[in-house]
Amino acid sequence: MRVLVTGGAGFIGSHVVHACLGRGHEVRVLDALLPAVHPAGVAPTVPDGVELLVGDVRDREVVDRALEGVDAVCHQAAMVGLGVDVQDMPEYAGINGFGTGVLLAGMAGADVGRLVLASSMVVYGEGTYECPVDGVVPAAPRRRADLDEGRFDPPCPVCGRQLSWGPVTEETAPDPRNTYAATKLGQEHLASAWASSTGGGVIALRYHNVYGPHMPRDTPYAGVAAVFRSALESGRAPRVFEDGGQQRDFVHVTDVAEANLRALEIEPPPAALRAYNVASGQPHTVADMARALADAFGGPAPEVTGEYRVGDVRHVVASPVLAEEELGFRAEVAFADGMRAFATDPLRPAP
């Protein structure tokens, strides 16, 4: 199979490229080499035999050239992370929304009918909660006044009682609560519309908290694992926001790359859009992750700050059952092993 990997010079994309090559696929990479991820003056590297096209997914001419002779597309190119503030909105909407639209239009023109889309857990918003009185309820948006007082868990929107969290499944209703989340859900909707119009098939992989070698470091768009790792390397304590009790599912990038392979190779491909959680199924708190990294690094111990970011969600933990049943995917890297390795893994240089 000849696969186009957009964003294939980036963190997750580069691992997907290596995984595809390891399975005998031909790979072409399209990457804009955005300065938020790729340092100026540092030449991107791709494996031998991989064609690299430097260009933007918003450029139809470049996209059409990248799609020539391709059997499938693995769409990793995106603005990621929570960003800085609302001034990032045009860039997120442009790259994640308009860029995906251009790619899909190009695929229709080139008669490429197979797409694997990098989606995200952020489409779920606050995830799944249950009230002891009112049952399963949507979590009310967290209020600044509560966050300022250190009340981080969302209350029941009906009675105000403490909620208990549970795993999200692919059937959980989307509830995007920040710019990035809105654009990732928008990508799914665009891809679904493309599939309906063309008869193509889409597998949307909803990544949970991905970490591993070659994460970008020291940028406002980096994942929390890279932020903590950078602090430790500088001799500073990792600063854990809120009370550190935020539940997450940390999944290693090599497992994410394997999930992409399973999605690319599934037969027959889906007739429309199918979404799958890409997660370990073993939740840990952000404080757990900070402690595991600090222990592996030899300190200093994390500092729980009580600070918060508007737009962050409290608990998002996934059920990996559907991906295992239908894609045959199960995450293999254990949390303790992955964090121990990540303490010394190479990171992408700061922009």
- As given in the structure block, the two tokens for residue 287 are 């404080």
- What value does the CA radius of gyration of the chain take, rounded to a whole number of Å? 20
pLDDT grade, residue 20 (50/70/90)? very high
Q: Are 347 and 215 in contact (CB under 8 A)?
A: yes
d(CA 152, CA 156): 13
Closest CA to 343 of 243, 217, 213: 213
Is residue 230 pLDDT above 80, yes or no?
A: yes
Phi, psi angle pair for 292, to nearest 5°: -60, -40
Q: According to the model, what pLDDT value does residue 127 have?
A: 83
Is residue 329 pLDDT above 70, yes or no?
A: yes
Output the average pLDDT for the chain.
92
Does the CA dihedral 143-146-147-152 come out positive or negative?
A: negative
> What letter represents residue 99's amino acid?
G
Q: According to the model, what pLDDT value does residue 220 have?
A: 60
Q: According to the model, what pLDDT value does residue 350 have?
A: 64
Q: Which domains does the chain have, with CATH numbers?
A: 2-127+168-343 (3.40.50.720), 128-167 (no CATH)
User: How would DSSP label each residue in 277-340?
Assistant: EE--S--EEHHHHHHHHHHHHT-PPPEE-----TT--S---B--HHHHHHH-----S-HHHHHH
d(CA 284, CA 16): 25
C-alpha distance from residue 320 to each of 122, 184, 205, 251 (Å): 16, 20, 11, 11
Q: To the nearest 5 percent, what fractions of the chain are helix, strand and coil?
A: 35, 20, 45
- As given in the structure block, the two tokens for residue 235 are 């001799």
d(CA 164, CA 166): 7
Is residue 152 pLDDT above 70, yes or no?
A: yes
Which is higher by pLDDT, 256 or 84? Answer: 256
Q: What global pTM score does this model have?
A: 0.94
d(CA 234, CA 324): 39
Is residue 219 pLDDT above 70, yes or no?
A: no
Q: pLDDT digit string (tens) for 302-315?
A: 999 999 987 788 99
Residue written as token pair 């009340």: 151
Q: According to the model, what pLDDT value does residue 224 have?
A: 87
Between helix 286-297 and helix 335-342 the angle, nearest 10°, is 50
- 245-274 average pLDDT score: 95
Phi, psi angle pair for 72, to nearest 5°: -155, 155
